[in-house]
Amino acid sequence: MTAPLSRTERTALCDLMLEVGPDAPTLSGSWTTRDLAAHLVVRENRPDAAAGLVLPPVRGWLDRVQEQTSRQPYEALVATVRSGPPIWSPTRIEAVDVEVNTVEFFVHHEDVRRARAEWEPRELADPDVAVLWDRVATVGRLLLRRCPVGVLVQPTDGPGAGTTSRLRSGDRDVTLVGPVGEIVLAKYGRITRGLEMQGAVGDVEAFRDFPR
């Protein structure tokens, strides 16, 4: 049986983090690979702190726990990420893991890949594109809540190729045209080559710059 994308992206990310080392840049703001590894460890192993990802009152506690976690040996952090969620976590169930972790590990894998001097967009397998497309409309919906423009997507691959779907309503629209993987990354503010953004110049800039 083929491993789900959530698992293969986790493994590929861990391999790459070991390859580039703890101080490599990422597309996750100012985070290094060490910071990213600590984030992933806290996200899966410290629900008391991970709540700060969505609850502002807990964000200070999250920052403290993540900073403490980042002091662990880098190889140990990566090993914890690679081993997956703890035994008590619902994401040990494959169906839950697919829903919760597919986009998370895809985006962060690209965060490390694309922060390097030389990188090329990956050509994803059709089943992987389909898995990502199934999550375009739902995963990360909160990321668009502050977007000042409407958002339409026109994927050029996968089950939705050639169709137009609306992710957010607005008086003015920006349309994201490109591979499903690029559309997913754009929702998270990772906008690089491979994606066409159609709309008025000011609206495209507004989509590019709004805080996720």
Report pLDDT digits (tens) over 35-84: 999 999 999 999 999 998 888 899 999 999 999 999 999 999 999 999 99
163-193, pLDDT tens digit by residue?
999 999 999 999 999 999 999 999 999 998 8
Does a structural domain hold residue 55? yes
145 lies in the same domain as 83: no
Are 192 and 146 members of one domain?
Answer: yes
pLDDT reported for residue 181: 97
**In the structure, what pLDDT confidence band is assigned to residue 138 with cuts at 50, 70 and 90?**
confident
What number is the average pLDDT over the span 129-150?
Answer: 89
Q: Which domain range does residue 69 map to?
A: 5-113
CA-CA distance, 12 to 10, in Å (whole number)? 6
126 found inside a domain = no
Domain boundary among 67, 97, 113: 113
Pairing of strands 196-198, 173-178: antiparallel
Dump the DSSP string for 85-149: S-TTSGGGSHHHHHHHHHHHHHHHHHHHHTTSSS-------HHHHHHHHHHHTTTTGGGGTT-SS
158 lies in some domain? yes
